[in-house]
Amino acid sequence: MLRGGPGTARRARQDQTLRRPRCSSSLSRSKVDASSGAQENTGQRTLRPQACPGHARAPFFPRSPRPPIGSIASAEIGSPARARGWLGWLQRRRTRHRPTSPDMSLRYHALRFAENLDLHEHGGDRLHLVRAAARGAQLELPAQWLSYCLPLSGRLRCESLDSSWELDAGHAQLWREGPLRIGARQPCGWLVLAGSAAAWAPYLRQRHDDATEPLSADLFPWEGPAARELRRLTVRLTRRARDRDHDLAPLLEALSAALLDQQRDLHARLHRCSGRTLRRRQQTLLRLLRVQHLIRRHPDARLDLARLARSASYSPCHLIRIYRDVFDETPTEYAARLRADRAWRMVRETRMPVCEITEALGFESQSAFCRAFKHSFGLTATEARRLDCQAA
């Protein structure tokens, strides 16, 4: 029996606790008694845990090192669903908004839902390949940039300073005038390859035809159905740019050559343009194509000749003369031909009444539309619609 106050019993219990042997498997930098089985620690992790006297020695199981965080091995830890999600996150993190080729000549962008990409903030020393398939994605291009646009599905909306229009799936467009905004309100998949003239220059080569003068290695504003080879090259370039493990220069050169082939008829008209040098003739063709674009984007309105002349920086008489020399028709005749083609499609492919077609095409009256239709195609609108019934 212990004598003393209450504190004496408490101190005795503490002394008994301190005398008990302890099991220690942690690292220590001090030397302990050799009888306890401990060894001198040198700062490295010991593979064998220390045992206490009177206890059985713990079995030794070598432990494999943990994979580093963010690696593929770490993604395989856990459920398969978690591994797939982690690997997908790693792939998106590696491919989104990063250079794709060793020479830093192309940059790949993947636009998500309602994301806006402004290329004014990026340098013009490289090409930019943009892929979008979500609703609300928008792309803004600076002025004087050459852009190639290809909608894969849906309808793509384009807006410039003076007009707005839509591109159908399978139709390609080359643009090099003012700033351009590209987007889609509905779900639409589209691809855009854009860059400055200096970024396009290494992939545009002068090609010689049967003529003595070499073909121009420049791309002009153009819109039309994309050839199958052109669509395949664009999709293949996008896939390899996303993977970031291929040299993209051969594909870029092949795509540029395919775009030049699409404009073969347009390049053949260069010798008709006024100008002593090739550069002067190219500038003349660019002005005339600007007039064509303005007529094509306002099919419902009759544009006066003064406005068309101002867009090309010509006088009305000079514009009519040069346009006829290059395209074998005047701007007024070109606008009338476009409106006649649209009238034929609306009469043949739709069941709209003639009065609604007259209003949609901007004719003054229904009789004026009927006279113009009879003059263009040699038959009335009613007779054109009966052709399907007679063929059936």
Tell whether the torsion through CA atoms of 185, 187, 188 and 189 is positive or negative: positive
pLDDT at 158: 94
pLDDT at 211: 45
What distance in Å separates the CA atoms of residue 378 and residue 371, rounded to the nearest whole number?
Answer: 10
Element (H, E) at 228: helix 228-243
Nearest to 381 by CA among 362, 356, 364: 356
Q: What residues are paired with 195 via a beta bridge?
A: 146
Q: Is the CATH number of domain 90-207+214-268 3.40.50.300?
A: no
CA geometry: angle at 349 spanning 164 and 188, to 5°? Answer: 40
pLDDT at 291: 94
Domain ranges of the chain: 90-207+214-268, 278-391
pLDDT at 363: 86
pLDDT at 302: 72
pLDDT at 23: 47
User: For residue 282, what are its two tokens?
Assistant: 């190219």
User: For residue 143, what are its two tokens?
Assistant: 């002025």
SS3 content of the chain, % helix, strand, coil (to 5): 45, 15, 40
Tell whether the torsion through CA atoms of 347, 350, 354 and 356 is positive or negative: negative
pTM value is 0.68
**Cβ of 150: how many Cβ atoms within 10 Å?**
22
Per-residue pLDDT of the chain (392 residues; tens, 9 = 90+): 445 555 666 666 656 655 555 544 444 444 444 444 444 444 444 444 454 554 445 454 455 555 555 554 555 555 565 566 666 666 665 544 444 444 468 999 999 998 999 998 887 789 999 999 888 899 999 998 999 999 999 999 999 988 889 999 999 999 998 899 999 888 899 999 999 999 999 998 755 444 444 445 689 999 999 999 999 999 999 999 988 767 899 999 999 999 999 999 999 999 999 989 999 999 999 999 999 999 988 876 677 899 999 999 999 999 999 999 999 999 999 998 999 999 999 999 888 999 999 988 888 889 999 999 999 899 898 888 888 665 54
User: For residue 181, what are its two tokens?
Assistant: 């905004």
Give the CATH number of domain 278-391; options: 3.40.718.10, 3.40.640.10, 3.40.50.150, 1.10.10.60: 1.10.10.60
**For the chain, where are the E strands, in sequence order?**
98-99, 106-111, 116-118, 127-132, 138-141, 146-153, 156-159, 164-167, 171-175, 180-183, 189-195, 222-225
**Cβ of 193: how many Cβ atoms within 10 Å?**
23
pLDDT at 25: 44
Q: Are 325 and 272 in contact (CB under 8 A)?
A: yes
pLDDT at 83: 60
pLDDT at 76: 52
